Chain A
Amino acid sequence: MRNKEQKFKQVYDQSKDKVYRLCLGFMGNKTDADDLFQEVLIKVWSNLETFRNESNIDTWIYRITTNTALLTLNRKTRLNKKELDYQPDIPSYEIENLNSTDKEEEVKKLYKAISLLKEIDRIIIGLLLEDCSYDDISNITGLKTSNVGVRINRIKKTLSKKFK
């Protein structure tokens, strides 16, 4: 058990910010991102025994994060459906804070723009911004590398438009 705890602490310290950013980019608001982040940590804990040291820890944790995000989205969609017909989440990246600096505003704008993309595109751009190579992204998403490239170009164009 001690060994597991140490391994978890190590994974947590190494990956917490990367995982959190992916959650935030995917969910589009801090409340949902925090919930998703917690769920990812639970999954990391329960999958820890399956992690082999020779594998790439980043790919391992990104797969858990993105799959958990898809599952959460699935559940959320289901819950929403009970009340109203499905509409894509219109994420809000927090209420405007009057005291926030220009840079903070830019950060919010970027996350908001990302959260308005298609679900898989949110994952792709999140991974790209976390310095993942096209091959890594292909490995995590299951898309062909060539397809990843095409989609990244499209996402860049969409983001540039939205970000201006």
Chain B
Amino acid sequence: MEKDITNWQNLWKEEKSTPLDLNKLITYLNKIEKKGKLERIILLIAVPITIVVLASLLPLLSNVYYLTSIMLISFGMVMILIQSYRSKYSLISNDAELNNHRYIKKLIQKLKQQMLTTSRYMWFYTFLLVLGLNIGYIDILQKFNISIIVRWSIHLIFTGIVFSFMYYSIEKRKKENKKNILPLIDFLENLN
């Protein structure tokens, strides 16, 4: 057996990497790094700009219904964005510090987070979206001279439509996850 290993080792070491133009490669890597830095700077600039834009909308937001509505929907959106960001593979930056076992665990964790976004957080978002939109509509509907029953009916129909739409989207996404992510989790769990 030891003879086999030595023989395999000799054969294994016959393979060599194709020579690369290292200077060209370093220029390319520097470019990628600069691009990443630029993206982070843009993001840093984008946040205050968004705040300024929102502040300019303040007169509109002086209406308590609109303000509550926008706050609820924004909160829901931020929650989903954070959740999606947390499930990104690229966030595992300490490759060199993790052994394969722990790295696979991290990958599985990310995939589970993706599943959780659909099964739980999307429903939180739906709830906040429906609540926020309905609160916004209270003020809009008040401006029309319609009876309370009609107003309630509009709210209910509107809620029904949004819920149905979100239900359909979430279920579709869940099915996709079942087809794509679950087998991947199984696959990764079997690697260990």
Interface residues of A (CB under 8 A from B): 1, 5, 8-9, 12, 16-17, 19-21, 24-25, 34, 37, 41-43, 45-47, 50-51, 60-61, 63-64, 66-68, 70-71, 74, 77-78, 81-82, 85-86, 103-104, 106-107, 110-111, 118-120, 123, 126, 128-131, 139-143, 156, 159-160, 163
Give me the 9 closest cross-chain CB pairs, A-B, nearest first: A142-B101, A142-B99, A20-B17, A129-B12, A67-B103, A45-B29, A141-B100, A16-B17, A67-B95
Could you mark each residue 61-97 of chain B with 1 if its beta carbon is under 8 Å from any beta carbon of chain A, else 0? 0000000000000000000000000000100011111
Query: Which residue on B lies nearest to A45, using beta carbons?
Result: B29
Is B11 among interface residues, defined by CB-CB distance under 8 A?
A: yes
- Contact A17-B16, Cβ < 8 Å, known A74-B188, A141-B100: yes
| Contact in complex: B103, A46 (CB < 8 Å) | no
Query: Which residue on A lies nearest to B29, using beta carbons?
Result: A45
Contacts of B89 in A (CB 8 A): 71, 74
| Contact in complex: B179, A81 (CB < 8 Å) | yes
Quick one: which of B18, B100, B180, B187 contacts A67, CB cutoff 8 A? B100
Interface residues of B (CB under 8 A from A): 1, 4-5, 8-9, 11-18, 20, 22, 25-26, 29-30, 32-33, 89, 93-104, 107, 179-180, 183-184, 187-188, 191-192
25 A–B contacts from the bound complex (CB under 8 Å): A12-B22, A20-B17, A21-B13, A25-B12, A41-B25, A41-B29, A42-B29, A45-B32, A50-B96, A51-B96, A60-B96, A67-B103, A70-B191, A74-B184, A78-B184, A81-B184, A107-B12, A110-B11, A111-B15, A118-B191, A120-B100, A129-B9, A129-B13, A140-B99, A142-B101
Quick one: which of A1, A34, A63, A82 contacts B99, CB cutoff 8 A? A63
Contacts of B22 in A (CB 8 A): 9, 12
Contacts of B94 in A (CB 8 A): 47, 50
In Å, the complex CA distance between A28 and B155 comes to 60
| Contact in complex: B95, A43 (CB < 8 Å) | yes
| B interface majority secondary structure | helix
In Å, the complex CA distance between A85 and B30 comes to 39
In Å, the complex CA distance between A81 and B104 comes to 19
Contacts of B101 in A (CB 8 A): 141-143
Contacts of A24 in B (CB 8 A): 15
Q: A12-B22, A41-B29, A43-B95 are in contact. List 14 more A-B contacts (CB 8 A).
A: A16-B17, A20-B15, A46-B93, A61-B96, A63-B95, A63-B98, A68-B95, A74-B89, A74-B188, A107-B15, A120-B191, A120-B192, A142-B102, A160-B1
Contacts of B100 in A (CB 8 A): 63, 66-67, 70, 120, 123, 140-142
Contacts of B93 in A (CB 8 A): 46-47
Contacts of B191 in A (CB 8 A): 70, 118-120
| Contact in complex: B96, A64 (CB < 8 Å) | yes
In Å, the complex CA distance between A141 and B4 comes to 23
In Å, the complex CA distance between A12 and B23 comes to 12
Query: Which residue on B lies nearest to A6, using beta carbons?
Result: B26
- Contact A107-B17, Cβ < 8 Å, known A63-B99, A86-B183: no
